[in-house]
Copies of this chain bind each other. A is one copy, B any other.
């Protein structure tokens, strides 16, 4: 792998393209060795991975009540914060979609996260007092701005608020690790399938329809996020369409219908199976 950052530019961070957001990797997490697996029907991982729509609403409510955060409307391409900016705020995404882009000194650029409604942004800035990546809106949306110091002060009064934040950070850590696992262990086709599945799950969890998703990123951005070239993304999508696992809307290739989510997961497994006899790791 290793797709060179070069030529095929990631397009547009700041471009005007319409939004995008996330999906990441969803995939089913471990069957907890000894555990109580929750939520039926939904991916184990995803089940707890994030709060459901209801919970998100509650958190937003709580924040609104305790801190009356400032609002900010963003449009596609707007940069909420830049790598290197002084850290002062955390942000909560009320509507819209963001991508998180890591930058290396030598010019490499990597999409390391995609965020949906209810997600927090800016945790990366706490460690060093400066954000370590760019947060870029991929669509029109609204973020709530929370002063970190004020938030901490509020937390001292309300432990439940603190718990909410810790859960959000913990979830972020889990998501990032899942991303790494996907990139390291899945072949390209499976990664794309999982990407779609994750996106759909993310929408579903928030109460939005999951059978009809609008990719808010170019093939180049998806490829960057998944660690492959835009051509490979395109080929993978074409293959999925050929096998009727997805359908493109009549016009434009950004709208994707997913008739059967489970079929997508099955495809993923098939990709894996066709190369690995029997793990038995450990």
Contact = CB atoms under 8 A, between A and B. Distances in A.
Name which of A2, A31, A48, A277 has the most chain B CB atoms within 10 A of its CB. Answer: A2
A155 to B, nearest CB: 8
A167 interface: yes
A142 to B, nearest CB: 24
Given A84-B32, A85-B33, A127 B5 contact: no
A57 to B, nearest CB: 18
Contact of A277 (B7, B10, B184): B7
Interface in A154-200: 155-156, 159, 162-163, 166-167, 169-174, 176-181, 183-188
B105 A28 contact: yes
Interface residues of A, number: 94
A112 B9 contact: no
A225 to B, nearest CB: 8
B184 A227 contact: yes
Given A29-B132, A184-B227, 17 more contacts: A5-B279, A5-B281, A7-B276, A9-B282, A32-B130, A35-B85, A102-B180, A107-B279, A109-B281, A110-B180, A123-B169, A132-B177, A133-B177, A169-B170, A179-B180, A183-B184, A184-B224
Interface of A: 1-7, 9-15, 27-36, 44-45, 48-50, 82-86, 100, 102-110, 112-113, 123-130, 132-133, 152, 155-156, 159, 162-163, 166-167, 169-174, 176-181, 183-188, 224, 227, 269, 272, 275-282
